[in-house]
Amino acid sequence: MHANSPCPVARSADLLGDRWALLVIRDAFDGITRFSDFQRSLGAARNILSDRLRRLADAGILQLQPASDGSAYQEYVLTAAGLELFPLLVALRQWGERHCFEAGEPHSQLIESGTRRPVPYMQPHGRNGEPLQATHTHVRKLKDAGGGA
């Protein structure tokens, strides 16, 4: 829909602005590879799940490969481009932790394996290394862009 937009957010949102797609990607980061395991984790209808897996494969986010155990199953694994969605997943998670849970309400946690402690809060930084707020940024649009940022 926004495949020709000059705005990278619009193009990303076309692929990723879908709750099932985001949850498939979450599960892929979590090590899930098989259709039946995605289905069990997500409780999604077969047709929804196969549509999202196909779209993510078409977008170069997931790739199909033969099962690692030599069986006839196919496995869905993140491509290099898919692995670069890690910051997006961290941003979704950290915002959710702050704004979608009551104080003290338990939730799953993303743990830094080396220290066994939660992954620190992620935010953009400026060239001077300091955290950067949205108010200290602006979008430079293309001069001839027709609508959209």
According to CB under 8 A, which residues from 26 to 55 bind its own copies? 26-27, 29-30, 40-43
Convert residues 75-114 into a mask of x (bound to its own copies by CB under 8 A) and - (unbound).
Answer: ------x-xxxxxxxxxxxxxxxxxxx----xxxxxxxxx
Distance set, CA 74 to CA 44, 59, 62, 70 (Å): 19, 18, 12, 10
Min dist CB 114 to its own copies, Å, is 6
Rounded least distance, CB 74 to its own copies, Å? 22
Residue closer to its own copies, measured from CB, 70 or 98: 98
Count of C-beta atoms within a 10 Å radius of residue 49:
20
Residue 66 vs 126, nearer CB to its own copies? 126
d(CA 78, CA 68): 14
Cα–Cα distance, 48 to 20 (Å, whole number): 8
